[in-house]
Amino acid sequence: MEVDLPKQIKVKVSQNKKGGVFLAELPDYDVFTEADTFSGLIFMVNDLIYTFFDVPKKLRGKIWYSPPLKTNLELNLPMNPILFSILTFPKANSNLNDVL
């Protein structure tokens, strides 16, 4: 089984000023998702990545998106777009049977 994942995926996060909805975009792939809460957005970004890159369910516990510990939201700074990276397994572009 082979999954062709990049080693890093840019995630641009912003918050709608009117409705408070959180938006996440993968600008290199022109796809996006949204959630009512920041923690919900993390779940939605993972789901977006799993769906977009067709990651099999049995591998989803080994590949995940996680934002930095300190974000503008936690520091109560003005909400500008934030770029995050995806955490993946070391051999992201290799045969997954070799990793498992």
**pLDDT (tens digit, 9 = 90+) per residue, 12-65?**
988 888 778 989 999 999 999 999 988 889 899 999 999 999 999 988 888 888
Show the tokens assigned to 75. Answer: 């520091």
Write down the pLDDT at residue 97. Answer: 44
Query: Is pLDDT larger for residue 53 or for residue 94?
Result: 53
Note the Cα 29 to chain centre separation in Å: 12
With 90 as the cut, is the pLDDT of residue 73 above it? no
Helix (H/G/I), strand (E/B), else coil: 50: helix
Query: Can you spell out the DSSP letters for 60-100?
Result: TTT-EE---SS-TTTTT-----EEE-EE--TTTTSBHHHH-
Answer whether 0.75 is exceeded by the pTM: no
Residue closest to 79 by CA, chosen among 28, 17, 21, 33: 17
